[in-house]
Amino acid sequence: MPLNAEELFSERALGFKPSAIREQLKLIDTPEIISLSGGTPDDQFFPIDRVIEASTFALRQYGKKALQYGSTEGIKKLRVLLMDRMEKEGVNSIDLDNVIISTASQQGLSLLAQIFVNPGDTVIVEEPSYIGALQACASMQAKFCTVALDKDGMRMDALEDRLKELQKAHIRPKFIYTIPNFQNPVGVTMTLERRKKLIELANKYDLLIVEDDPYGEVRFEGEPIPSLLALGGKDHVVALRTFSKISFPGLRLGWIVARKDIMDKIVLGKQAADLCSPSLTQYIAYEFISRGWLDEYVAVVRREYLKKKNAMISALEQYFPAGASWTNPQGGLFVWVKAPEHIDTTAMFPEAISAKVAYVTGIAFYPHRDDNCHMRLSFSPVDPEHITEGVHRLGDLLKSKI
């Protein structure tokens, strides 16, 4: 008799849902389709020779240590380097005990969900929000309380309304999850005023904020805005950062900043999850950063992504029908498009694939799966010429439906 694994799966695992993006990516793995869907960095800019040099040096210099298990917290000199980097951004309330290397941000999200969320607990999220964060919380059987976004990021009036409602119902949310810079999927950035208000509300209602910021350094226009961690300190903020978008996701490295009592639990959770992040890539990252190559690489990314973003916005203006609208981000990877009234972007997806262009359906980013009029377009992995062509194809498809 073959084993029936269904009978053995935990309730948690039975509730797992596939990521719509990964499912959609499977359909578009053919070169004729212009894919504006993946949130991946453009690998043509990866400085392979420098990575080879940093890797060779790391292996020669740290050989056995680089190939060995490391401490759960991560390699000390890398953590010190990251702490110094954050200090330059105005984060000065932390020391080494507050910084841990994670297996990129997704692990940070999954550890936080694990240490805070009991089945049925409430987590406050922006609507729409990053799928991976929703998945991490949903896998711990969280309930989502959603807060609308506008061009200035999470709406603080809506958040305050939600907090009052929750308080009335005697529900204490476990944390507020926000992506303040170039939000995934919407591309908007929370203003300084709203960041201050968020810190104020976190203090007033005694709440924890999870600040997920993979894109802040990928700013190609405008002035940087201080992080929630810099503004509010670590008492009410846990910060997640990653190398994935400022360098290479293949490193699978990120870092978490948290106060000591929370960090102690994160360390225990990480021990259970993977013991430690890869020593080898940590040494490579250390060499890459300390030679100044990360900063040089980020400068290239900013310059090139601005060209891509401009190509996308110009093409949207030229080819999309009246009634469509979109965000115009100052950084990051994504433009969020609202289709003209009555066009269902989920139903249209197979037609887009037939027209040889792909996007991510807006519904994927809604915890309650109730939006069918948006699509996320990513400009990062495609060159400007193909961005223009892809948007042209999509525009024609939309016009054919009006």
Footprint of ligand PLP on this chain (CB under 6 A)? 39, 104-106, 130, 132, 179, 184, 212, 214, 242, 244, 249, 254
User: By the 8 A CB rule, do 176 and 142 touch?
Assistant: no
End-to-end CA gap in the chain: 55
Q: Closest distance between ligand PLP and the C-beta of residue 92, in Å?
A: 24
Residue 127 CB, nearest approach to ligand PLP (Å):
14
Residue 122 or residue 178: which is nearer to ligand PLP going by CB? 178
**CB burial string 285-306: b at 16+ within 10 A, e below:** bbbbbeeebbeebbeebeebbb
The smaller minimum CB distance to ligand PLP, of residues 249 and 362, is found at 249
Between 130 and 319, name the residue whose CB sits nearer to ligand PLP. 130
CB atoms closer than 10 angstroms to residue 134: 23
Q: How far is the CB of 105 from ligand PLP (least distance, A)?
A: 3
CA nearest to 213, candidates 139, 145, 153: 153
| Residue given tokens 């490295």 in the structure block | 253
Minimum distance from CB of 210 to ligand PLP (Å)? 10
Which one, 105 or 122, has the nearer CB to ligand PLP? 105
The tally of CA atoms less than 13 A away on the side-chain side of residue 56 is 6
Minimum separation from the CB atom of position 124 to ligand PLP (A)? 16
Q: In what order do the strands lie in the sheet with 122-127?
A: 99-102, 254-257, 237-242, 209-212, 175-178, 122-127, 143-150, 153-154
- Closer by beta carbon to ligand PLP, 178 or else 388: 178
**Minimum distance from CB of 37 to ligand PLP (Å)?**
12
Give the DSSP H or E segment for 148: strand 143-150
The DSSP code for 118 is P
Q: Which is nearer to ligand PLP, 106 or 330 (CB)?
A: 106
